[in-house]
Chain A
Amino acid sequence: MAKIGLIFNGVWSHYALATAPKYRDLYELLYVHELTAEAVQHLDALAIPFQSNQQVLTEKQAIIYDFLKAGKKVFLEGDSSTAWLDAQWEDRPVNNYWWVDDPTNPPVSETNYDHPVYQGLTPRQACWHTHGVYTRVPESAEIIQTNATGDVITWQTHAYGGTLLATTLDPLVEHGVQQITHLDNYVDRLTYWLSGEQPSAARMTIDAAAYGVGAVV
């Protein structure tokens, strides 16, 4: 039974991940326009992917904060509206090709590998590209990743009851896109941290039957 709710605004990469045989028993798609407090009660964690509908999330922020208040985990990736988050996210150009053009200068320069999501990851597995930075985070936040200029890439706080982990990395979307081949490592660590369930060691595959008239929406 799924333990992680993937808040979903009809974007294909979210759908590809959550319907992949490797992950479909662990993630439950929660359509953001129909998101209610009742719909998340049975879950241990929420994941809010890159390319989410920030305006609707702002309208429904009480559901997220009440979920945290219940001692549960929330993972937030990619860009984020400051309207519902006590932090300042700012856009930056995405560098997809640092590893080709300037491999000694990755978009993340410091990582706390003691964090459970990052334990055992190589630097390459812990950073592919970033979608902006946080220039302000809550006072209570622990900093987990920064870039070379000291901007925050990943942070975590327990200030709301449970654990909110926020990053400008986009592991869930990029794993759905399937152009970065090492992302099983990060997403499997993240999935275990969120749910306590270890996904199978096999590489993510796609179930073609979940597309078209067979789409599960």
Chain B
Amino acid sequence: MLQALLISNGLQGLEKYYVSNELVQYTICPVTRDFAPDLTPYDLLVVPNGSDHVAMLKIKEQVRAFLAAGKALMCCDGFFTAWVPGNQWVMDNSRRTLDLRYTPGPDAHGLLENLDLDELNFSHGMSGWWSCGYIQAAPGAEVLLADTWQRPIVVLDEVSTPGRMLLTASGPLADVTYAGKSETALVVMYRNFLRLLSSETVPAHG
């Protein structure tokens, strides 16, 4: 079972979205003034929607060392500070969200398997609901989803570090299928990533 450290920014309800299950055991780590978590016991670092990217910048070197050890990072949207190795999220509102559609790219590990792309393209018939900037992806990283203007929206980076990073421009990805609820596209993608990390047949360093 994966051991994951879930960074908490003290927001209402975060624990409801990340519940330990057969794939992963979550340990919640609140951000404090002296934020300096020990990452070494964990396989996966989860930085969810609404996270504190000032705090994450302070532990930039610890994150880099964590990934250098072959571990994994999942970061959902909004990394406006430069703490994610090789990749940068940027806000943008110069395009009409009404025109936004997602296109799948190469997906060597099947992270998009069983994912209904229309769930990301439309909600209640409206497009643009999942629009939050884009990622300046590292050269060689796999762009799993691009937007209408070919900007990276979901990136799997196995080249910038010896570890793996799943990065999304929009959030949240969440792990809420423990109660047998139907799996939404965002849950499917996240759990596909957990299965990839859990798989003994796939090397931790691609």
Contact = CB atoms under 8 A, between A and B. Distances in A.
Contacts of B35: 33
Contact of A10 (B32, B51, B129): B51
Interface residues of A, number: 37
B80 A15 contact: yes
A101 interface: yes
B9 A9 contact: yes
A208 interface: yes
Interface string A200-214: 000011101011110
A54 B53 contact: no
Given A208-B90, A211-B88, A212-B90, A53 B11 contact: yes
Interface string B84-105: 0000111111100100000000
A54 B54 contact: no
B31 A9 contact: yes
Contacts of B11: 51, 53
Contact of A215 (B82, B93, B131): B82
Nearest to A54: B10
A12 interface: yes
A53 B55 CA distance: 13
A55 B10 CA distance: 6
Interface in A72-121: 79, 91, 96-97, 100-101
B124 A16 contact: no
A91 B12 CA distance: 9
Given A10-B9, A51-B9, A179-B97, A208 B92 contact: yes
A100 B79 CA distance: 31
Interface string A41-77: 0000000000111111000000000000000000000
Contacts of B30: 55
A217 B78 contact: no
Contact of B32 (A33, A97, A204): A33
Contacts of A177: 132
A56 B32 CA distance: 8
B89 to A, nearest CB: 7
Interface string B45-72: 0000011111111000000000000000
B126 interface: yes
B13 interface: yes
B82 A11 contact: no
Q: Which 8 A-B pairs have the closest CB atoms?
A: A12-B78, A10-B52, A53-B10, A10-B54, A178-B93, A97-B124, A33-B33, A212-B88
Interface of A: 8-13, 15-16, 31, 33-34, 51-56, 79, 91, 96-97, 100-101, 176-179, 204-206, 208, 210-213, 215, 217
Interface of B: 9-13, 30-33, 35, 50-57, 77-82, 88-94, 97, 123-126, 128-129, 131-132, 136
Given A9-B9, A12-B132, 10 more contacts: A56-B10, A96-B124, A96-B129, A97-B126, A100-B126, A206-B92, A206-B94, A211-B89, A211-B91, A215-B57
26 contacts: A10-B9, A10-B31, A10-B52, A10-B54, A11-B9, A11-B53, A11-B78, A12-B53, A12-B89, A13-B78, A33-B31, A33-B32, A33-B33, A52-B10, A53-B9, A53-B52, A54-B10, A91-B13, A96-B124, A178-B91, A179-B131, A179-B132, A208-B90, A208-B92, A211-B88, A217-B57
